[in-house]
Each structure stands twice: as C-alpha cells, then as structure tokens.
Amino acid sequence: MKSCGPCTLCCTVLEIPALSKPACQACVHVRAGTGCGIYEARPEPCRTFTCGWLATEALGEAWRPDVAGFLIRDERDQGHLCIDVDPERPAAWRRAPYLTQIRAWSAMVRDQSGCVLVYEGPAVTVVFPEGDIALGPIGPAPRLQIGYQGKGERQRPLVRLLSTTGEVLQQWRDVVP
Ligand code: SF4
Ligand code: SF4
C-alpha cells in the first residue's frame, strides 16, 4: 500500500476553508519532510483527502505529487479530473511522460461527459485531447460548459462560462496544441 512519504503538496495547493488557507499557499502547520504539525487536530478535509496518486496503485513514483510537480484530484460528482499544480513548478504537467497521459485521460473522461481541468491557483486550463484552452482566473466553483462545436473535420473544442441562471458570460474556442 502506498504512503505519502515526504510529499506534502496537498498542504500547499489545496484551499482549506476551515483553516482560512487559500489555494497555492503552504499551510502554516506543514513541516517539511515530516508532514502535518497538528496531525491529531487537523480538520476534516485534511483527514479525508486522498490524491489520485495515493489512490491509484498503477501510478508509479514518477507521479508522486512532490516528484511530478502536481497532484491529481478526481471530481467524481462532476465527472472531471482536476490537476493542481505546484506554484513553484507551474509547467511540470506539460513534461514527458505526463502530458501524453493527461491527454489520454482527457479523451477517456470526455467519453463520460467530463474533462481535465488544470488549476494553477485561480487560473484554469481545460485540457482537450487536441490541445488546451487557457481560461485564466475565473473564480471559485466556476460553472463551465465544456464540449465541441461543429461536426466532422470542422468540430472544435468549445468552453463556456455560465452564470448561475445558465446565461453565457464568456466563451473560448482557441486551442493551443
Ligand atoms: S498530495 Fe497525495 S501523496 Fe502528497 S501528501 Fe497529499 S495525499 Fe499524500
Ligand atoms: S492542517 Fe496539516 S494536513 Fe491540513 S493542510 Fe495543514 S499541514 Fe496539511
């Protein structure tokens, strides 16, 4: 069975409202190499969080978050796969062998009406099998409509940001391969 070992990346990248800890900022309780300084008293989100690497036996050491420079999070309720990047290594997920696998996951979750979202703090990039669309900072819990426009060879990725009432606030079509 896997263990976190020296990794503490979730203690930096995740937002923990119970501690007033913003995303992409190291928790004041994290101790380098040893983990949580308030382990017995850590709040509920810290007790229950398990990253994708820890939960997936098939992902090797290269995918351990402190090695890879990002962690994988499974948003099962929305069908999305989320990647939270280490703010000190924001482009690490684009390196081999990660990007090829992330694009393959994108094709897989797309077939289940999901997508891959890469979070660098508040800035979001949507990863399609064909390329990426950088949305920039779009606020917490964005309501996104992600899919394709057109048919056959004219089919192109499309992302829409929706209001709570379903109105289109902004849309993006330009994919960077
Ligand atoms: S990111 Fe994953 S491996 Fe690293 S400390 Fe958190 S749960 Fe453990
Ligand atoms: S309280 Fe502990 S487990 Fe939770 S984010 Fe801080 S250091 Fe990590």
Per-residue pLDDT, 47: 96
Per-residue pLDDT, 22: 92
- CA nearest 118: which of 170, 48, 69? 69
- CA nearest 99: which of 87, 85, 88, 112? 85
Per-residue pLDDT, 49: 95
Query: What is the spatial distance between Cα 5 and Cα 57, in angstroms, rounded to a whole number?
Result: 15
The mean pLDDT values, 10 residues at a time, for the chain of 177 residues are: 93 94 94 90 96 96 97 81 95 96 93 87 91 89 85 87 93 87
- Which residue has a Cα nearest atom 1 of ligand 2? 42
CA distances 6 to 12, 45, 55, 102, 131, Å, are 13, 20, 17, 24, 33
Contact by Cβ (8 Å): 146, 140: no
Enumerate residues 6+ apart whose C-beta is below 8 A from 113.
79
Ligand 1 centre distance from Cα of residue 10 (Å): 6
Position in ligand 2 atom list of the atom nearest CA 31: 7
Phi, psi at 113, each rounded to 5°: 65, 25
Ligand nearest 8 Cα, by number?
1
Ligand 1 centre distance from Cα of residue 54 (Å): 7
Ligand 2 centre distance from Cα of residue 122 (Å): 20
Contact by Cβ (8 Å): 154, 108: no
Per-residue pLDDT, 78: 72
Per-residue pLDDT, 132: 95
Q: What is the DSSP letter of 45?
A: H
Per-residue pLDDT, 15: 92
Per-residue pLDDT, 76: 65
pTM higher than the cut 0.85: yes
- Which residue has a Cα nearest atom 8 of ligand 1? 4
Per-domain residue ranges of the chain:
10-172
